[in-house]
Amino acid sequence: MRKLDHTSIDYVVKIRRQWVGQLSDYYSSNRDISEEIVQNLHAMCDALTGTKYQHKLIIEHNFIRVYTNDSRLFNEITGAVPGLHTVNYTQAVIDRPRNSVKLKESAYSNRSYFRSVTVSDREKKSIGKFLLNQDSIRLSPGLKEWSSYHWRSWTESYYFVDHNDTAWMTMLSLIYPGLIKNTIQIIKA
């Protein structure tokens, strides 16, 4: 789901019900979206769009993760949405500036994350070969594996490159423009 509004919820539920109705395996036949679930989704939408507390929302599979600096938002949500099954609260102390990562040891000053995109086989080979031949950067383990093997034709948003300069980014943008999503600073802990 891309937007949090009632029209988007109804559209996604309609599409999912049509999709599940066309499948005949056991897994899909037990994935019915009940009216209670739809009501809970709309109640969650009302709670989150009507709140005065700042938050970040991440929707993945059948989980909703809400990040906030004000725990009163969780009381609002649990009071407004009776159908919540698993509610976990975790408090974290973030002692680093925004758009940065803290590492104990790093020879690099910046970390650049990739966008999640689908690439052709030719583009994947070019990107992988280019990245593996750069001595001045460090690839994340997932990106290193992706660059070495030819079985997945998309990048993940958690792939990153640690680096000190941006010269390699210029070359990468010639191979695949817009692949870098953002760059953050690495701070030594």
Domains in the chain, start-ordered, CATH in brackets? 6-80 (no CATH), 100-188 (3.30.70)
Tokens encoding 168 = 């390699």
Q: Is the pTM of this model over 0.75?
A: no
Render 67-124 in DSSP notation, one character per residue: EES-THHHHHHHHH-TT------------S-TTEEEESS-S-SEEEEEP--B--HHHH
Residuewise pLDDT in 10s, the chain (189 residues): 567 889 999 998 898 888 776 766 656 556 778 898 889 889 989 999 999 999 888 876 567 788 888 889 988 888 888 878 777 888 887 888 889 999 999 999 999 999 989 999 999 999 999 999 999 999 999 999 999 987 788 899 899 999 999 999 999 999 999 999 999 999 998
Integer angstrom CA distances of residue 155 from 10, 12, 144: 30, 25, 11
